[in-house]
Amino acid sequence: MRAGLRHAVMCVLVVLMIYPLIWMLVSSFKPSNLVLSEPGLIPSEVTFDNYRDGWNALDEPFSLFFLNSLFVSVGSIVGNLFSCSLAAYALARLEFRGRRLYFAITLVSVMLPLHVLVVPQYIFFSQLGMVNTYFPLLLPKFLATDAFFTFLMVQFIRTIPRELDAAAWVDGAGPFRIFWSVILPLMTPALVTSAIFTFIWTWNDFFTPLIYLTSTEMFTVPVALNSMMSSETSSGVGALFAMSLLSLLPVLVFFVTAQKYLIRGISTTGLK
Amino acid sequence: MTQQTLVRPAAASPQPPRPRRRPPSFRRQGGAAHVFLLPFLLGLVLITAVPLLASLYLSFTDYDLLHDPELVGLDNFRRMAEDERFWASVGVTLRYVLVSVPLQLAFALLLAVVLDKGMRGLALYRSAFYLPSLLGSSVAIAILWRQLFGHEGLINAVLGWFGIEGESWLQNPDTALSTLVVLNVWTFGSPMIIFLAGLRQIPEELYEAARVDGAGRLRQFSSVTMPLLTPIIFFNLVLQTIGAFQAFTQAHIISGGQGGPLDSTLFYTLYLYQQGFQSFNMGYASAMAWVLLVVIAVVTAGHFLLSKYWVFYGDER
Amino acid sequence: MDLVTRRRFLQLVGLGAGMTAVAACGGGSDGTAIRYAWWGDTIRQQKYTAAIEEFVKQNPGIEVRPEFADYDAFQERITVQTAGRDVPDVFWIPSPHVMSYHDAGLYRRLDDISSLDLSQFPAEQLELYKIDGELNTLPRSVLTAAVRYNQTFLDEAGAELPPDDPQHWTWSGLQEFLIDYARDAPPGRKAIHYNAQADLCFEAWLRQHGQDLWTADGRMGFEPAALEGWFEWWEVLRRAGAATSLSEQEGASPEWEVVGDKVLMTFGNSNHIADEAPMFPDYEFNLRMMPVLPDAAPGHRFGYLSRIAIYQGIDDDKLDAAGKLVNFNINDPGFLRIVGLSVGAPANPRMLQEAYAVANEDEKKMLAVVEQEMAEEQRPRYEAPPGSGTWRTIMIRGVEEVALERASVSEAAARVIAEIDRELGQAK
């Protein structure tokens, strides 16, 4: 009975939460000019035009933008997991002068708004001739500039008892070995979380790709979607919805599969 | 303290033998540390520090992006003090931070705890609650939010059943900010996931030990879950606060970059963006950015100082 | 549970390094490759990309690299590019920044490029087009202020607009008509959108009062009384229930796709009909020029000419190609056939005639009303000076204050003028 009630409440909550998405889904099957003038949930006309038109909206099949976004997102994940875990381990576990300073700088770099850093960064990359490439989008990820994840991993590592390090040290392991064999496996939830968030944030990132990617075939999904919703006219709402929903799918799939690793958690043997 | 008695038993048996090697000296660990930190240090210099310092320099200049910057000393800061819209944006942002962060985190924690128990269809619920976050910064949000809160939106339709005639919540300066708070709470998926990850890391034996000691569900929650979750709560609190201070995309999308109506959704970073990219006052925008940084740093330092009183780390010596 | 083994880790690092290397390639090599930047929606992106392909076909050896974005995004990107001195070779100029970019030295002179033919433009027009005595931009299209009304609704009501002559088509005459219409209109329908933020229409009002939006020396050209009169005209309509409220129209700038079928009439630019009429395919829309004051100052008619330019810092060996591209844009009827008229009527007088051949029904109406307006006597108008880039958002705030009854008309007008003044003062 208790379980049934809980399920009922959850279902209501879920419906409330995703109602806008349901509306968007239904609207994507309405002809574009009816989407906003007939905002009900039951469409008077159903059409697949929005998906068809939206797919080729920018003269390229939308799959191109998916692939571009995928490349950037996966690259960013690799970069972040690599550089942030290394940095986090050093900041959380190793004793050295300047540890607190680096940690503070890490946090400070999260605090400055992007729009102010953009101009000097752009000048740097354009001097290198790297505009209209993916380099400005990926390089920062390999250099642990996403301090959010460094901080996240630091917090997770700090929940791992130091006795484990000590035990490995006793067995003759150096810092890298300890990092590799002891810490890294135990921070899997943090790694998976970072991967999920990196994927989603880079998938949805708009401003930086807008500035660095000038030719249409380099566009990532958000830049392409933004062009579909013009600020002057509002034509193409149906196509915008259709493509927005489609672009949700890879992220959702990634999220659902990555969840499994979150579920596994820590096996009890790790702590003994 | 009860917390320590619950944690110690599992880890403290058996006693480790005395280490055969000496603990590493500071210098030794320093070398290793800098190898680990190499990418970070490179990134710091190339991507972060130089633009950071450049923007600091710019905050003392008059820079319109089209000509070279011109030093003007403290003019930008003086202007800030007298700028009505600047103070308006400060007020909007403060209100947003104080209301939406606790609300969002409370929701996220509540649902994470509920979803952490074995429930059928768990993965489905988790994904469903995460979906809004995926859409949160999409261009389509403007239309969706109008669909809910607009003059002919769903909320007003529901109010209509009760005979109440509603106006557009988005066009009313008194309620527009609240719609953005709702948007932030709606996208609670990210902190929820982090809470879930944190909950997953709490070893099952601790719950078993507590049950053996006779603790009920609630007692288990307050003695096992909460203390061990505090580092994660702290993390979410610090970062969501920083994020709320910097909130931009959603206000930009929903107000069409205007911050209206009547500057009621003029977030600090939105005003900064307007000054930098529309009025071409990049020097002033940089000055605003540094003021924001100082404020966030102070608030974060406050968080860290207070954390001594309520955050419990498993690696404390 | 070991998600990552050492080997896998090294593989990932290798993969990452490889990706970064691949990522560094992207744009392609140089040659006579010229960059062309424009804005719009997806339809315009498709059409102009097709036009570029046609150009490339006609000019083998020239490569054109398109840089497209939506209007706001375009401005963001070009702002950053300008700071980085990395501006595209040929680019459209957003109206708020014509003078700022000139001040920054972004434009190259255009009257000494052999591949760029200026003979189809009347000499006086080109003379008027110069900035500070230099011909460094060229007109792409003409936009005029226009009144757009729903013919279907009129027919339903069996009504007719006041006759289009100086005695009847006046501001007060129109106001009376709209209030009348609203009184008998079906429920949920109003006579007009609250469009006090329509910039070209406001300028028309000012010019009829013998004033200007901007002066030749870069100052505001209007008095508070004119702005107050403008606000008051709208307020009369709103208070009489003839205009939609800001809430009903979802903002100071009405959301046409939501409330287009809730009104009989709307003020706007003549080219908007091309995009906005198809959103309500069941209705027929028509255009008219703005109503006129009985004692309007002479020469008040005007057209806004949108501009295109070549970057000052362009490589000399690309100049010829860039000239050809601009030539194609403004002189070639083939271009017009591919891209259509979404940006407005062509500025080239000969192309204007060709345009009728490619126009659809709605676009023909736009062309007619533009021709009508441009045939009349026009005294000069001046571009928005540096620092005026945000004048429209300042105006919108003023409109909100008035329409939401947070300030009186004179207070709001005074505040708008003071703010614009301040922004102008802060610019170089």
Q: How far is CA C124 from CA A125, C19, C120, C378, in A?
A: 44, 57, 12, 12
pLDDT level of residue C1 (50, 70, 90 thresholds): very low
Q: Which two three-digit tokens encode residue C267?
A: 């003020």
- C67 interface with A at CB cutoff 8 Å: yes
In terms of average pLDDT, the best of A16-20, B285-289, C27-31 is B285-289
Let me know whether A264 and A219 are in one domain.
Answer: yes
Higher pLDDT, B80 or C20: B80
Q: Please answer whether residues C383 and C131 qualify as being in contact, where contact means their C-beta atoms are separated by less than 8 angstroms.
A: yes
Residues 277..306 of B with a Cβ closer than 8 Å to A: which?
A: 277, 282, 285-286, 289-290, 292-293, 296-297, 300
Least confident of C31-35, C100-104, C108-112, C131-135: C31-35
Q: Which of A53, A65, A5 is nearest to A29 (CA)?
A: A53
Give the closest-approach CA distance of A18 to chain C in angstroms: 23
How many Å apart are CA B272 and CA B267, to the nearest integer?
Answer: 9
**Three-state secondary structure of chain C:** CCCCCHHHHHHHHHHHHHHHHHHHCCCCCCCCEEEEEEECCHHHHHHHHHHHHHHHHHCCCCEEEEEEECHHHHHHHHHHHHHCCCCCCEEEECHHHHHHHHHCCCECCCCCCCCCCCCCCCHHHHHHHCECCECCCEEEEEECEEEEEEHHHHHHHCCCCCCCCCCCCCHHHHHHHHHHHHHHCCCCCEEECCCCCCHHHHHHHHHHCCCCCECCCCCECCCHHHHHHHHHHHHHHHHCCCECCCCCCCCCCCCHHHHHHHEEEEEEECCHHHHHHHHCCCCCEEEECCCCCCCCCCCECCCEEEEEEEECCCCHHHHHHHHHHHHHHHHCHHHHHHHCCCCCEECCHHHHHHHHHHCCHHHHHHHHHHHHHHHCCECCCCCCCCCCCCHHHHHHHHHHHHHCCCCCHHHHHHHHHHHHHHHHHHCC
For chain C, which chains pass the contact test of at least 3 CB pairs under 8 Å? A, B
pLDDT level of residue C299 (50, 70, 90 thresholds): very high
Let me know whether A72 and A128 are in one domain.
Answer: yes
What pLDDT digit, counting tens, does each position of C304-320 carry? 999 999 999 999 899 99
What pLDDT digit, counting tens, does each position of C48-87 carry? 999 999 999 999 989 999 999 888 889 889 988 988 888 9
For chain A, which chains pass the contact test of at least 3 CB pairs under 8 Å? B, C
Structural element, H or E, at residue B209: helix B204-212
The residue type found at A74 is V
Q: Which of C282, C242, C252 is nearest to B170 (CA)?
A: C252
What pLDDT digit, counting tens, does each position of C318-329 carry? 999 999 999 999
Residue A52 domain flag: no
Q: Which two three-digit tokens encode residue C322?
A: 């860039």
Residue A53 domain flag: no
Provide the CB-side half-sphere exposure for B249 (13 A, CA).
20
Residues 14..73 of A with a Cβ closer than 8 Å to C: which?
A: 33, 36-37, 57-59, 71
What is the model's pLDDT at position B23? 52
What pLDDT digit, counting tens, does each position of A212-244 carry? 998 888 999 988 888 887 655 556 788 888 988
Give the closest-approach CA distance of C388 to chain B in angstroms: 8
What is the model's pLDDT at position C404? 94
A138-152 average pLDDT score: 88
Q: Which residue has the tokens 């680990």?
A: B36
What is the model's pLDDT at position B83? 92
Q: Which residue has the tokens 């003078």?
A: C99
Structural domain count, chain A: 2
Burial category of A147 from C-beta neighbours within 10 Å (exposed 0-12, middle 13-18, buried 19 and up) = buried
For chain B, which chains pass the contact test of at least 3 CB pairs under 8 Å? A, C
How many Å apart are CA A213 and CA A210, to the nearest integer?
Answer: 6
What pLDDT digit, counting tens, does each position of A162-205 carry? 888 888 888 887 888 888 888 888 888 788 888 888 988 888 88
What is the model's pLDDT at position B17? 52
What is the model's pLDDT at position B214? 83
Q: Which of B238, C292, C145 is nearest to A151 (CA)?
A: B238
Rg (CA), chain A: 23
**Residues of chain C positioned with their CB less than 8 A from the CB of A78:** 12, 15-16, 19
Q: Please answer whether residues C379 and C301 qualify as being in contact, where contact means their C-beta atoms are separated by less than 8 angstroms.
A: no
Q: Which of A37, A5, A39, A45 is nearest to A23 (CA)?
A: A39
Give the closest-approach CA distance of A96 to chain C in angstroms: 26
Residues 247..306 of C with a Cβ closer than 8 Å to A: which?
A: 255-258, 260-261, 272, 275-276, 278-281
What pLDDT digit, counting tens, does each position of C379-424 carry? 988 999 988 888 999 999 999 999 999 999 999 999 999 999 988 9
Let me know whether A18 and A97 are in one domain.
Answer: no
DSSP code at position B39: H
Let me know whether A139 and A6 are in one domain.
Answer: no
C157-171 average pLDDT score: 92
- B190 interface with C at CB cutoff 8 Å: no
pLDDT level of residue C152 (50, 70, 90 thresholds): very high
What is the model's pLDDT at position A270? 28
What is the model's pLDDT at position B32? 77
What is the model's pLDDT at position C82? 87
Let me know whether A82 and A156 are in one domain.
Answer: yes
Residue A8 domain flag: yes
The residue type found at A108 is V
Share the mean pLDDT of chain C: 88
Let me know whether A63 and A95 are in one domain.
Answer: yes
ipTM of the complex: 0.85
Q: B78-310 domain in CATH 3.40.50.300?
A: no
Torsion over CA of B88, B94, B95 and B98, rounded to 10 degrees? 180
Let me know whether A189 and A251 are in one domain.
Answer: yes
Per cent of chain C over pLDDT 90 is 57
What is the model's pLDDT at position B280? 87
Beta bridge partners of C286: C149
Let me know whether A231 and A146 are in one domain.
Answer: yes
| CB-closest option in C1, C26, C40 to A132 | C26
Q: What number of other Cβ atoms are within 10 A of residue B200's Cβ? A: 20
Let me know whether A129 and A14 are in one domain.
Answer: no
How many Å apart are CA A100 and CA A85, to the nearest integer?
Answer: 17
Let me know whether A16 and A82 are in one domain.
Answer: no
- A117 interface with B at CB cutoff 8 Å: yes
Axis crossing angle, helix B176-186 with helix B84-116, rounded to the nearest 10: 30
Name the phi and psi angles at C424, rounded to 5. -65, -40
Let me know whether A141 and A14 are in one domain.
Answer: no
Let me know whether A176 and A79 are in one domain.
Answer: yes
Give the closest-approach CA distance of B19 to chain C in angstroms: 27
How many Å apart are CA A185 and CA A200, to the nearest integer?
Answer: 23
Whether residue A139 and residue C272 make contact (CB cut-off 8 A), yes or no, is: no
Check whether the bond before A185 is cis (ω within 30° of 0). Answer: no
Q: Please answer whether residues C94 and C77 qualify as being in contact, where contact means their C-beta atoms are separated by less than 8 angstroms.
A: no
Q: Which residues of chain B have pLDDT under 70?
A: 1-30, 118-120, 314-317
DSSP code at position B278: I
Residues 6+ apart with CB under 8 A from B244: B93, B96, B97, B100, B101, B184
Residue ranges of domains in chain C, CATH in brackets:
33-142+304-367 (3.40.190.10), 145-301+387-426 (3.40.190.10)
What pLDDT digit, counting tens, does each position of C246-284 carry? 999 989 999 888 888 999 999 999 998 988 888 888 999
What pLDDT digit, counting tens, does each position of A109-135 carry? 778 778 778 888 888 888 888 888 999
The CATH number assigned to the domain holding A167 equals: 1.10.3720.10
**Residues of chain C positioned with their CB less than 8 A from the CB of A124:** none
Give the closest-approach CA distance of A192 to chain C in angstroms: 10
pTM of the model: 0.86
- Nearest-CA residue of chain B relative to A23? B144
- A21 interface with B at CB cutoff 8 Å: yes
What is the model's pLDDT at position A205? 87
Q: Which domain holds residue A169?
A: 58-271
